[in-house]
Amino acid sequence: RSLFWFSDPFGQLLPSESSSIVAHFCPNSEKVFSAPMYCVARPVSDPDNAVEGPLRALMNDAVGTQDASPAYVLQFVGHGKAPALSLDPDDLDLGAVKAWEETRHSVMLLNSSNLTVHFS
C-alpha cells in the first residue's frame, strides 16, 4: 500500500461543480514524507453535444489537442509521528488457568498524544 492514496480515485464533475475527496496518509516511520499525486482530466463524450455538418467547419479544433487531456500535479506532504501509548500494568501474568476456563484482567491503554490511534 502507498503512503498517500485516494479511497475513491475516480469521479465526475459537472460544469461549475466542485467535490470533496478524501486523501489518506499512512506513514511507516517518524519523518516527513512527500509525493506527487497526478490527476488527469478527461472529458466525457456526449453524443448530444456533437457538432456535425457545415457548422463543424466553424469549430475551433486546435491541431493535435483533440486527444490531449490536461494533467495536474498535487504535491502531498505529511509528517509521520510516533504515537505515545502506554499500558498499565506494563506486564500481565494471567497465571495458571484450567483448560476450558477463562480468566480476565483489565488493562488501561493510554494515548497521551494529540493524535487518534486506531486499535483492535
Q: pTM of the prediction?
A: 0.49
- Give me the average pLDDT of each 10-residue run along the chain (120 residues): 82 86 87 88 75 76 58 89 85 91 92 82
Dihedral in degrees, nearest 10, Cα atoms 53, 12, 15, 61? -40
| Domain spans of the chain, in order of start | 4-82
Note the pLDDT of residue 63: 45
Contact indicator for 119, 87 with CB cutoff of 8 Å: no
58, HSE (Cβ side, Cα atoms, 13 Å) = 6
φ/ψ (deg, to 5) at 26: -130, 85
Q: What's the gap between Cα 52 and its chain centre?
A: 42
Note the pLDDT of residue 97: 92
Look at the block and give the residue holding cell 498535487: 74
Q: Tell me, what amino acid is at 15?
A: P
Element (H, E) at 54: none
Note the pLDDT of residue 34: 93
